[in-house]
Amino acid sequence: MEINKVALVTGGGRGIGASAVKLLAHEGYAICINYVSDQESATTLQQEVESFGVKCIVVQADVSIEKDVERLFNTVDRELGALNVLVNNAGILKQQSRMEDISAERFSAILQTNVMSCFLCSKAAVKRMSTRYGGLGGSIVNVSSGAAKSGSPNEYVDYAASKGAMDTLTRGLAMEVADEGIRVNGVRPALIYTEMHASGGEAGRVDRLSKNIPLKRGGEPHEVAEAIVWLASDKSSFVTGSFIDTTGGL
């Protein structure tokens, strides 16, 4: 069990983020659950996590906004101590659409939320974790998507583009900070049973497409969380700049 370590999970109140929170808590991490609007889910999860005997705080912040990110990280510093693990999980998608029907405003909003949040939070984490700044090292895990490889045609090209950008950021940052005690990796889930599909207008999307998955079923959030926590932990100590596709073989 990891003892006396601190993890921050953005968008941690539901879905894959919530599963990662619970698994990290079982490993003994003190947890910060970040959320942007669903306070009820975050506080309910906090109560569950605290029943595991670890400290857990909940912080509202829009992690695509720099001042919110600074407030979030300062709260973690103050209430939990030195950050060891950052999971960049916050992300959104919009209604399924062909690319020519996507507005510039929508495309910009997707990039702002999905890419800028990863950039801002990673930047704040590096300044705390890096041995260059007196830190003790740490691990950053970025939750990307299989869409970064497929392009998600006819559905979410904007979302796919944002996740492709996240993958490039993951690789570049990993190389920058590899000798400063920080490992940076990503997971690429696809067709996981979460509430996100409803945001795209098709709550049953996973069931519709599961026949195309080599494993012939959709994935569960905890199956992605296992990959996240492995990459976060010392068990993956020789892994950086890498990705785990949790896609059922797609």
Q: How confident is the model over 134-179, as pLDDT tens digits?
A: 999 999 999 999 999 999 999 999 999 999 999 999 999 999 999 9
Of 68, 74, 57, the closest CA to residue 90 belongs to 68
What pTM, to 2 d.p., does this model score? 0.94
Q: Which amino acid is at 136?
A: L
pLDDT higher than 90, residue 4 = no
Percent with pLDDT over 90 in the chain: 83
CATH of 5-245, one of 3.40.50.2000, 3.30.67.10, 3.30.70.1350, 3.40.50.720: 3.40.50.720
Catalytic residue ranges:
159
Using one digit for the tens of pLDDT, what is the confidence trace for 27-79? 999 999 999 999 999 999 999 999 999 999 999 999 999 999 999 999 999 99
How far is Cα 37 from Cα 47, in angstroms, rounded to an integer?
18
Domain ranges of the chain: 5-245
Q: For residue 213, what are the CA distances in angstroms to 206, 226, 227, 245?
A: 10, 20, 19, 13
